[in-house]
Amino acid sequence: MAVDREQVKRLLKEKGLKVTNQRLLVLEAIASCPDEHLTAEEIFELVKLSYPEIGLATVYRTIQLLNELKLIDKISFDDGFARYEMGNTRDGEQKHHHHHLICLKCGRVISFRDDLLEELEQKIACTAGFHVVDHEVKLYGYCEECGGDLIEEKRE
């Protein structure tokens, strides 16, 4: 996934923030791993490849800023690490997060992009008068390599 540098520069300037190489490189590092959920340390290692003089503290501050700007999202898989992925906005408009399937044995995280909750959200809006604008779903179980295929054997 490519980062639209001009759009990011525009957003930073609109917010009265400096456009720095470090900010752009951190965002590009996260965007370069679209199906991964990176820790700050992993982001630091990626940025350091092209900008060796960057410090870990700078990466942490940049991550916090990018998260506040909704350019990246902070997520937790209950493993003690904060992880980051590209934000849940597209062309300035908020979209739903994708969901995550978490293997209880190996810890693998699989992104699940099909949004099956739209009907539930509509029902909530009609019955409770509550407008859902976002949700986060984490499903825990076992990936195929760790025994997820046992479900198929039980069906037979």
Q: Could you tell me the residue range of the domain that residue 137 belongs to?
A: 96-156
8 and 65 belong to one structural domain: yes
Final residue of a structural domain among 52, 75, 95: 95
CA–CA gap between residue 21 and residue 47 (Å, rounded): 10
137 and 89 belong to one structural domain: no
Number of compact structural domains in the chain? 2
Final residue of a structural domain among 77, 95, 113: 95
Q: 89 or 73: whose pLDDT is higher?
A: 73
Q: What is the mean pLDDT of residues 114-135?
A: 86
Q: What is the mean pLDDT of residues 24-51?
A: 94
To the nearest whole percent, how much of the chain has pLDDT over 90?
48
56 and 110 belong to one structural domain: no
Would you state the pLDDT for residue 25? 95
For 119, residues 6+ apart whose C-beta sits below 8 A from its C-beta are none
Q: 46 or 92: whose pLDDT is higher?
A: 46
9 and 84 belong to one structural domain: yes
Q: What is the mean pLDDT of residues 75-81?
A: 86
Q: What is the mean pLDDT of residues 137-146?
A: 89
12 and 82 belong to one structural domain: yes
CA–CA gap between residue 86 and residue 72 (Å, rounded): 4
Q: What is the mean pLDDT of residues 15-38?
A: 92
For residue 54, how many other CB atoms are within 10 A of its CB? Answer: 17
33 and 59 belong to one structural domain: yes
Q: In what order do the strands lie in the sheet with 109-112?
A: 109-112, 99-103, 138-141
27 and 57 belong to one structural domain: yes
To the nearest whole percent, how much of the chain has pLDDT over 70?
87
**Could you tell me the two tokens for 17?**
């923030």
Q: Taking the alpha carbons of 51, 56, 62, 66 in that order, is the dihedral positive or negative?
A: positive
Question: At residue 64, does pLDDT exceed 90?
Answer: yes
